[in-house]
Amino acid sequence: MAAGIAAGLALATGYAQPSEADISAFLDAPLAQGAVRTLIGVSATAWFMALFPDLDVASVPQRWFLRGMFVLLLLCLAAGRMELFAVLALAALLPLLHRHRGWTHHPLAPWLVTFGLALAHEWLRSRSAWLFGFSWRNVWDLLIEDWLYLVAAALGHTVHLLLDSRKVRWLPFVNNAPGHH
C-alpha cells in the first residue's frame, strides 16, 4: 500500500515521469539514474520501512527481507554507492537493537528514523570528522532534494503502525485473527 502511494506521489508531483526512452534506458543500464529507477527506489523505500518495525522478530519474512537486503547491498557495492550501502546496512540493523513493539512502534519513530538516516548519510558523505566535514546545510539540502524518498520512508513506517493499531481492526483487509499484531 505505502509503496503504491509513494510511486503515485512520484508520478503526481512530477518527481519521476518515465517515458518509453526511460524504460529502454533502464533495461539497458538498471543502475543508472532515471525515472524508472526513481519509481522503483521510492517504492522500495516505502516497502522497506513498512517492514522495518517488525524486522526484530525472527521469522520467514525477516529472512526474505534480509536476503533482499543482501542483494540490494551488493547492487550498492557494484554501483559504487558506499554512502547508500552504509545507510541501508545501518537501517537494516536498527530494529534489532530493542525488543519487539519497542521504539520502532512509537508514533515519532517514522520521522526520527528518517531524519536520523539523513544525518547518517551526510556524516558518511562528508568522510571527515564530525566537526570538520559535517554540514547541516547539506542535511537540509538532502531533505529538500530527496524529499520523496524521505516521505516514502516515513509513509511506509506510518502505514505499518496504522495497520498494527487497534483503531483500524474494523477494516476488512486487516487480519483480526487472535495473536495477530
Each residue's pLDDT tens digit in the chain (181 positions)?
A: 888 999 999 999 998 988 888 888 888 887 778 889 889 989 988 988 888 887 777 777 788 888 888 998 998 898 888 888 888 888 888 887 777 777 888 888 888 888 888 888 777 777 655 556 677 787 888 888 888 988 998 999 888 888 887 666 555 555 544 444 4
Nearest-angstrom CA–CA distance, 12 and 49: 21
- Cell numbers at 158, concatenated: 506510518
Buried residues in 49-80 as b, exposed as e (16+ CB within 10 A): bbbbbbbbeeeeebeebeeebeebbeebeeee
Q: Is residue 87 part of a domain?
A: yes
Q: Is residue 181 part of a domain?
A: no
Task: Give the per-residue pLDDT at 73.
Answer: 92
Task: Give the per-residue pLDDT at 176.
Answer: 47
Q: Is residue 103 part of a domain?
A: yes
Q: Is residue 173 part of a domain?
A: no
Q: How many CB atoms lie within 10 A of CB 4?
A: 11
Task: Give the per-residue pLDDT at 178.
Answer: 45
Task: Give the per-residue pLDDT at 12.
Answer: 92
Q: What is the pTM of this model?
A: 0.74
Contacts of 7 (CB under 8 A, 6+ apart): 39, 42, 43
Task: Give the per-residue pLDDT at 127.
Answer: 64
Contacts of 91 (CB under 8 A, 6+ apart): 48, 52, 113, 117
Task: Give the per-residue pLDDT at 31.
Answer: 72
Task: Give the per-residue pLDDT at 177.
Answer: 46
Task: Give the per-residue pLDDT at 181.
Answer: 47
Q: Is residue 128 part of a domain?
A: yes
Q: How many domains does the chain have?
A: 1
Question: What's the number of CA atoms in the CB half-sphere (13 Å) around residue 67?
Answer: 6
Task: Give the per-residue pLDDT at 170.
Answer: 55
Q: Supply the range of the domain harboring residue 104.
A: 2-168
Question: What's the number of CA atoms in the CB half-sphere (13 Å) around residue 36?
Answer: 14
Q: Is residue 164 part of a domain?
A: yes
Q: Is residue 84 part of a domain?
A: yes
Task: Give the per-residue pLDDT at 132.
Answer: 61
Q: Is residue 163 part of a domain?
A: yes
